[in-house]
């Protein structure tokens, strides 16, 4: 089992490190005593003394000179970064090591980090460093992060299975490919070329009664890279078939990007970032039906599909770019057809 790296306590982050965090957004949040979301593990916070503690004590034990002997009620050990940064780590490798105090080393100064720590832990002949120990909130945050990691691993494994099935189907058109998902339901993927348009049909063999299959359907759609959620068309279950089906139309360029991304980055990377399959920005302002769709995609980093067929993630103000001629032509066709009816 790989040892968990030492992590800063919440108190240490808020009081000792917040104003020296390099990332401006994270610095502002910590100064406001707000923790980052669970996707950020606290031992990965970008700070030199946090990195030094992790590097020194993740799989290494303290040497004799590392023991902090001025405060001995708990097993504190020193960590160092460069000439200035120093920290004190609570050494309890059988459970979890914690960076409990940090600051600058200033030789022969009362502001030296070790001097301040000793002074704050000492009252007369009594030594008490319990104020710098991890609290219940630290333990809750750690457990929440571990749960988030587990959920991410499950999601990654799910996406990997969907991608394996998808790539097999694309490589063998007209041949149904199947994959058993984590809940025991069966995913079947068929890729059917149809003239100039390729029809990609995904089917899930799952009991749809009571809406049990809805979350799995959404997860599968989310795992197929480079496709806007609004593109999927659903075939509901019927009296002779309980498994719902849904399909989307794609072209040769999407197939090429999918195969290239899988070849260049590998399945693990593609499963972690399905947006590797989207079109690269071409400098044109594209037309998307539905302003709310564009706004949500811009805010959440989701894929949209333009009238010209281009799939991309909105990232820039389109008002400064020339309009896409294909989108304009398609928009006029749609408006003409609507007017004639």
**pLDDT tens figures, 116-151:** 999 999 988 899 999 999 999 999 999 999 999 999
Report phi then psi at 31, rounded to 5.
-65, -30
Q: Encode pLDDT of 207-228 as tens digits.
A: 444 445 567 778 888 888 888 8
User: What pLDDT sits at residue 202?
Assistant: 60
Tokens of 67: 């023991």
Go through 294-318 and write b for each residue having 16 or more CB atoms within 10 A of its CB, e for each that does not. Answer: beebeeeebbbbbbbbbbbbbeeee
Q: Which two tokens stand for residue 229?
A: 């959620």
| HSE-CB of 157 using CA atoms within 13 angstroms | 10
C-alpha closest to that of 62 among 93, 84, 86, 85 = 93
DSSP state of 14: I
Q: Which of 42-46, 132-136, 201-205 has the lowest average pLDDT?
A: 201-205
Domain ranges of the chain: 7-134, 138-277, 279-341
Q: Where are the alpha helices (DSSP H) in 92-247?
A: 113-121, 136-171, 214-223
Q: 90 pLDDT band (50/70/90 cuts)?
A: very high
Q: Which pLDDT belongs to residue 243?
A: 64
State the residue for tokens 């000793």: 118
Task: State how far the Cα of 245 lies from the Cα of 224, in Å rounded to an integer.
Answer: 14
Q: What is the pLDDT of residue 99?
A: 97
Average pLDDT, the chain: 84
188-212 burial string, b = 16+ CB within 10 Å, else e?
A: bbbbeeeeeebebbbbbbbebeeee
Question: For residues 304 and 228, what is the distance between their CA atoms, to the nearest angstrom?
Answer: 5
Q: Which of 168, 142, 157 is nearest to 259 (CA)?
A: 168
Q: Count CB-CB contacts under 10 A for residue 36.
A: 16
CB 190 within 8 A of CB 169: yes
pLDDT score recorded for residue 288: 77
Between 237 and 157, the higher pLDDT residue: 157
Q: What percent of the chain has pLDDT over 90?
A: 45
Measured distance CA(70)–CA(4) in Å, rounded: 27
């Amino acid at each position: 089992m790989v040892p968990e790296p030492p992590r800063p306590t919440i108190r240490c982050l808020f009081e000792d490190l917040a104003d020296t965090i390099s990332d401006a957004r994270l610095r502002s949040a910590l100064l406001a005593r707000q923790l980052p979301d669970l996707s950020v593990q606290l031992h990965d916070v970008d700070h030199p003394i946090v990195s030094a503690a992790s590097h020194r004590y993740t799989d290494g034990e303290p040497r004799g000179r590392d023991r902090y002997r001025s405060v001995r009620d708990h097993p504190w050990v020193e960590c160092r970064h460069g000439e200035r940064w120093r920290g004190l780590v609570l050494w309890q490798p059988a459970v979890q090591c914690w960076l409990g105090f940090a600051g600058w080393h200033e030789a022969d100064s009362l502001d030296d980090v070790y001097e301040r720590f000793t002074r704050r832990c000492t009252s007369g002949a009594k030594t008490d460093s319990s104020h710098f120990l991890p609290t219940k909130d630290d333990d809750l945050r750690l457990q929440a992060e571990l749960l988030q990691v587990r959920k991410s691993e499950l999601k990654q494994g799910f996406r990997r299975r969907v991608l394996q099935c998808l790539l097999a189907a694309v490589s063998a058109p007209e041949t149904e490919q199947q994959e058993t998902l984590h809940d025991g339901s069966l995913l079947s993927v068929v890729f059917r070329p149809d003239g100039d348009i390729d029809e990609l049909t995904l089917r899930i063999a799952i009991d749809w009664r009571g809406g049990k299959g809805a979350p799995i359907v959404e997860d599968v759609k989310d795992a197929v890279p480079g496709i806007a959620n609004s593109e999927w068309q659903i075939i509901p279950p019927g009296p002779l078939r309980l498994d719902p089906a849904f399909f989307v139309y794609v072209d040769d360029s999407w197939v090429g990007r999918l195969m290239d991304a899988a070849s260049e980055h590998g399945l693990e990377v593609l499963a972690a970032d399905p947006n590797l399959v989207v079109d690269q920005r071409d400098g044109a302002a594209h037309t998307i039906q539905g302003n709310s769709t564009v706004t949500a995609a811009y805010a959440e980093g989701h894929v949209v599909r333009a009238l010209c067929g281009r799939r991309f993630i909105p990232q820039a103000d389109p008002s400064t770019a020339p309009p896409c001629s294909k989108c304009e032509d398609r928009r006029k066709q749609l408006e003409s057809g609507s007017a004639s009816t």
